[in-house]
Amino acid sequence: MAQFDEAAVRRRLTADLEQIQRDIYERTQGEQAITSSMEASNGTGISSEQADEASAVAEYDRNQAMLENDRALSRKIEAALERLDAGKYGVCERCGQPINPRRLEALPYVTLCVNCQAIVERAV
Ligand SMILES: [Zn+2]
């Protein structure tokens, strides 16, 4: 008895992955633009430009953090698709019990059941 609609899950994961990869692409383009504008303003010593540079750096850091999130999420989704192919999707990696379908619906790329997730998070 399947506890989830495999085709629907696959469509959803694939759509999420495409969305994230577009986001990564856009952020990567932005990263290059910020890097070149920082190089252009190097050594000017004008305070207003330094302020611009500081905000560009903050923007860059924020972008990097979002990019890192996107990359981590895309790895999780890719892993979920692989588990789907392998027939292991929806099974907790730690205890081997089925993951609650409602949990999977909210977070389709999770690999742990609620109990194991709580145990792992306490251990960190
Ligand atoms: Zn578990």
The string of pLDDT tens digits covering residues 37-50 is 555 555 555 567 78
In a domain, 20, yes or no: yes
Residue range(s) defining the domain that contains residue 17: 6-89
CA distance 117 to 32: 37
Per-position DSSP letters for 21-83, written without gaps between them = HHHHHHHHHHHHHHHHHHHHTTT---HHHHHHHHHHHHHHHHHHHHHHHHHHHHHHHHHHHHH
In a domain, 33, yes or no: yes
Number of domains in the chain: 1
Query: How far apart are the CA of 118 and the centre of ligand 1, in A?
Result: 9
Query: How far apart are the CA of 123 and the centre of ligand 1, in A?
Result: 14
Query: How far apart are the CA of 63 and the centre of ligand 1, in A?
Result: 34
Backbone angles phi, psi at 46, to 5 degrees: -90, 130
pLDDT of 59 strictly over 50: yes
Average pLDDT, the chain: 86
In a domain, 118, yes or no: no
In a domain, 97, yes or no: no
Q: Give the predicted TM-score (pTM) of the model.
A: 0.74
In a domain, 98, yes or no: no
Per-position DSSP letters for 68-106, written without gaps between them = HHHHHHHHHHHHHHHHHHTT-TTB-TTT-PBPPHHHHHH
In a domain, 94, yes or no: no
The string of pLDDT tens digits covering residues 86-116 is 999 999 999 999 999 999 999 999 999 999 9
In a domain, 67, yes or no: yes
